Structure 1
Amino acid sequence: MEHLDRVWLLLLCSLNSVVCQLHVEGHVNEEVVLPCVYTEGDSSSNVFWRDKDNLFVLDIIGGVEQTQTQNERFRGRVSSFPAEYHKGNFSITMKDLTMEDSGPYECHIPDDFQRDITLTVNAPRVVPTPPPSPAGGAAVTHPSTWLCSLLLCLCSSAV
């Protein structure tokens, strides 16, 4: 479902407009995609990503990520999709989210386009702890795991 939300968001963002305001939510320690799709853009477009403090999140110059100019806060955590530049997709992925990442971001293509995105980072997701093992310490195998193992065994022995 989360993947479908991203696709829907990218489709909404592909509409041409001078400025479009989007809201994206993520969770601490996870990753999020900040969409920036400009159908008039191509792999030679210069794209400048900035945060609320005007820090260099990521610059894409002539189809090349300029990681050396990234602010140290984003270095190693923010990347883009170079194989998508020719489609005008200059979206970025931000990994290892922190609460400090919350706030406005701007994807700017000089003289043509600006995408404003507000990122809200929420507390980490709570992962439920698995139930304790049954008495005697016997392992419990989920039926789907057992079925997949059986099918794998049958397929490999048929070859």
Structure 2
Amino acid sequence: MIINMYITTKSLQCICFIVLFINKASPQETVQGFVGSSALLPCHSSSQVLTVHWRYNDIKNVYDIQNGKESTKEQDFDYSGRTQMFPKEFIKGNFTLKLTNLKQSDEGVYCCFIPDSPDPKNVQQYITLQVKAVAVKPRQYQAGQAEPRNQTPEKKANKLLLLLILFITINIQCCI
């Protein structure tokens, strides 16, 4: 009886640990951006705090707020000159990070770590950044301006199909 209770207790502890780990390790929010543009990575605290750390994949130092002041001393070179915070918002518990000139390599999971947060849910906030390639806009042509000769595969296939139909029609007429 005591052994069964011990096994059940250990099993429950293991399940709770796994659930907590999955809950903490899984990204909570997804933000999308385009190569060359910027993205806002949200981070909020229910009260005023003095220390906030932004990390990329728990490896790279993206940005720090220490003693209520911005610090880029230990910032990873990849983020140099591309990060911005909003100090006036710190009073409201808003520690949103703006990342500019997005690169494909910026895609991944960012963590906003608030060690002094009174709310355990806000100690680690995970944001997944998805960076998409810039869509090329079709060029607008003015009246009288020739369109380029570059044709899509669909246009080429349509022309070949029309030629084939024309060829078959001519052959049928010749046979009649």
Counterpart of 1:110 in 2: which secondary structure?
coil
In 2, distance between residues paired with 1:27 and 1:116?
20
Equivalent position of 1:46 in the other structure: 51
Counterpart of 2:33 in 1: which secondary structure?
strand
Which ranges of 4 or more aligned residues in structure 1 deviate by more than 3 Å? none
Equivalent position of 2:86 in the other structure: 81
Quote how far apart the aligned CAs of 1:53 are: 5.0
Quote how far apart the aligned CAs of 1:67 are: 1.4
| Residue segments in structure 2 that go unaligned for 5+ positions in a row | 1-22, 118-122, 146-176
Q: Which string of whole-angstrom CA distances, capped at 9 and with x for unpartnered residues, describes residues 11-69 of structure 1?
A: xxxxxxx96711111110000000001122x2x52000000151100001122111121
In 2, distance between residues paired with 1:83 and 1:128?
41
Correspondence list, 1:7-156, <5 A: 21-40=28-47, 42=48, 44-52=49-57, 54-112=59-117, 113-132=123-142, 134=143
| Residue segments in structure 1 that go unaligned for 5+ positions in a row | 1-17, 137-159
Counterpart of 2:65 in 1: which secondary structure?
strand
Counterpart of 1:90 in 2: which secondary structure?
coil
In 2, distance between residues paired with 1:56 and 1:62?
17
In 1, distance between residues paired with 2:58 and 2:72?
18
More strand by share: 1
Structure 1 or 2, whichever has the larger Rg, is: 2
Q: CA RMSD in A?
A: 2.0
In 1, distance between residues paired with 2:71 and 2:82?
13
Query: Structure 1 69/131 Cα, relative in aligned 2: closer, same or farther at 3 Å?
Result: same
TM (norm. structure 1) is 0.66
Identity over aligned residues, as a percent?
37
